[in-house]
Amino acid sequence: MENLVEPFVELVRRAATDLPADVESALRAAKEREEPGTAAAGALEAILRNVELARERSTPICQDTGLPIFYVYHPRGMGTRALREQIERAVVEATRRAYLRPNAVDPLTGRNSGNNLGRSFPSFHFEEWEEEFLRVDLLLKGGGSENVSAQYKLPYAPLKAGRDLEGVRRVVLDAVYRAQGKGCAPGILGVAVGADRGGGYVCAKEQLFRPLNDTNPVPELATLEQRLLEEANELSIGPMGFGGKTTVLGVKIGAYHRLPACYFVTVAYMCWACRRARMEVRDGEVVYG
């Protein structure tokens, strides 16, 4: 396999320092909606200035560069061991260049490994696909937003949430309410309906790779996404939890087969700094975006 360490470092740099255009324009639209002079408007102005500054200087948008989560789609015959090893080397180098904060802490000793490598750190999902090219998607997900992510088991009596999309609606709103501003609102919700507990989070985070302005191909999920976006904003938690018109920038839902006995709804809360980046290698040529 060719040496892709430097292109992978560039992928990390882009994710950490260059907010995707769809997220930035959603933040701009949110700023326009807030009353000038309010704390909410001030927070969004600071966020937008920060996004520009980070891009200009190649410094991290947020100091919590989080857990790097790699979704790797590779063609037949490409070994995942070499891929993992090269990505890990790139993560170490990106940490050295201060694109990433050292974030891997051993829970037994309390020690930070210092280079973002550790057991199950970074996180990898490999999938062999039919395409002839390699795609690597990276999400940097910070700890604040991870702490307010939530998994519900339906039926959920406190909200009278049953095993249907109405039940899903109720628990997702509950998750937004419980998060308040703590996950760095306005957030983006990746939601998995179904799957098992572990798979729920994997699938919910995969939803976060969808562009904010896309439409869910499943009509009933598209309707639910739109309704939840409006209702979550009615909660008026607002940017940073200061109160305001925009609490959530997007809701992305996927439905996955479940066991007869289980009905999980998993809400992966992503902060406004939705740091995702994509890299593809086609015929030896590296393309980002």
Partner 1 sequence: MATYELETPIPEEAVRALHVGDTVYLSGLIVTGRDAAHKYMVENFIRAGVVPASEQALYEELKRLLNGGVIYHCGPVVRQREDGQWEFVAAGPTTSIREEPYEADVIAHFGLRGVIGKGGMGPQTLRACQEYGAVYFHAVGGAASLIADAVKEVVAVYKKEEFGIPEAFWVIRVEGFPVVVTMDTHGRSIHEQVERSSRDVLNRLVSSSTI
Residue among 142, 121, 150, 187 at smallest CA distance from 16: 142
Nearer to partner 1, 227 or 282 (CB): 227
Nearer to partner 1, 202 or 241 (CB): 241
The DSSP bridge pattern shows strands 187-194 and 264-270 to be antiparallel
Residues 189-228 within binding reach of partner 1 (CB under 8 A): none
- Does the footprint of partner 1 cover residue 111 (CB under 8 A)? yes
The DSSP bridge pattern shows strands 275-282 and 248-256 to be unpaired
Nearer to partner 1, 194 or 244 (CB): 244
Instruction: List the one residue from 117, 243, 256, 278 that touches partner 1 (CB under 8 A).
Output: 243
CB of residue 171 vs partner 1: minimum separation in angstroms? 9
Site stretch for partner 1 (CB under 8 A), options 45-53, 69-77, 199-207, 250-258: 45-53
Nearer to partner 1, 53 or 259 (CB): 53
Site stretch for partner 1 (CB under 8 A), options 126-134, 178-186, 202-210, 249-257: 178-186
Nearer to partner 1, 102 or 199 (CB): 102
The Cα 96–Cα 99 span in angstroms is 8
Nearer to partner 1, 135 or 170 (CB): 170
- Does the footprint of partner 1 cover residue 186 (CB under 8 A)? no
The Cα 271–Cα 247 span in angstroms is 11
Residue 54: C-alpha distances to residues 16, 19, 47, 66, 99 (Å): 9, 9, 10, 16, 10
Taking residue 239's Cβ as centre, other Cβ atoms within 10 Å add up to 29
140 — phi, psi (to 5°)?
-100, 110
The Cα 82–Cα 88 span in angstroms is 10
DSSP-based three-state secondary structure for 108: coil
Chain residues binding partner 1 by CB under 8 A are: 37, 39, 42-43, 46-47, 49-50, 53-54, 57, 59-65, 98, 100-103, 105, 110-112, 114, 143-144, 147, 155, 157, 159-162, 166-167, 170, 173-174, 177, 180-182, 184, 231, 234-238, 240-243, 271-273
